[in-house]
């Protein structure tokens, strides 16, 4: 089920200052040139997506992000730990699978990639693969978990037909990839991560 609107590119940036799921929350969402502030959870009835699989009502920023993803837009979400960013990532993954496409889920370190791989396997079974410097499990799976460094190397290979480190890297058909999740993206500038 694709919800992409032809000819309409949409991006959403969600910035959240949260003290807890049940407390008042100030959110800023930026859609194109429009900036709007809002608070509280929203009823998802009548929205474009069907997100009942979570077992809880999505907050407004989650609903906005989910709708943007399902319409084919790009989403950047920054929020404190426990605010619900993972739910948005899972909506993106499910959206890709529903369209017969692939999803890539990246993390900055192997330990977190291994953890996410296990978590996603519990939800999606054998549809999940893992690529790190140490492991390559089902690299043709519809959901690929990998370190951000592995994704960088794959992209480098695709663009330059060779790897920056001289190693044989995995190739990916990006024409089938609908969603790329960059978890813990704030680590990208960390000099200890390369």
What's 191's domain CATH number?
A: 3.40.50.300
Domain that holds residue 21: 1-99
* Ramachandran category for residue 190: left, alpha or beta (phi over 0 → left; psi -120 to 50 → alpha): beta
pTM across the whole model: 0.71
Question: Is-contact 172 90, C-beta < 8 A?
Answer: no
Q: What is the pLDDT of residues 120-155, one digit of tens each?
A: 999 999 999 999 988 999 999 999 999 999 998 888
Residues 72 and 95 in one domain: yes
pLDDT tens string, the chain, 194 residues long: the values are 333 333 344 445 554 433 333 232 333 333 332 333 333 333 333 334 555 666 678 888 888 888 888 888 888 888 888 888 888 999 999 989 989 999 999 999 999 999 999 999 999 999 999 999 889 999 999 999 999 999 988 888 877 765 555 565 567 888 899 999 999 887 767 777 55
Residues 64 and 85 in one domain: yes
* Rounded Cα distance, 48 and 29, in Å: 18
Residues 70 and 144 in one domain: no
């Amino acid at each position: 089920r694709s919800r992409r609107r032809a000819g309409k590119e949409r991006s959403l940036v969600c910035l959240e200052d949260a003290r807890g799921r049940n407390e008042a929350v100030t959110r800023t969402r930026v859609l194109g040139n429009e900036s709007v502030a809002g608070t509280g959870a929203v009823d998802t009835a009548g929205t474009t997506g069907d997100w009942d699989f979570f077992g809880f009502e999505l907050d407004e920023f989650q609903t906005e992000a989910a709708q943007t993803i399902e319409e084919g837009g790009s989403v950047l979400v920054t929020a404190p730990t426990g605010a619900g960013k993972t739910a948005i990532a899972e909506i993106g993954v499910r959206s890709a699978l529903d369209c017969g496409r692939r999803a890539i889920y990246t993390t900055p370190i192997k330990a977190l990639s291994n953890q996410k791989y296990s978590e996603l396997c519990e939800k999606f079974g054998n549809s999940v693969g893992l690529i790190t410097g140490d492991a390559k499990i089902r690299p043709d799976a519809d959901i690929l978990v990998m370190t951000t460094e592995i994704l960088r190397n794959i992209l480098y290979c695709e663009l330059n037909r060779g790897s920056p480190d001289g190693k044989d890297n995995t190739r990916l058909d990006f024409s089938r990839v609908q969603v790329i999740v960059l978890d813990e993206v704030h680590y990208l500038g960390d000099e200890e991560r390369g």
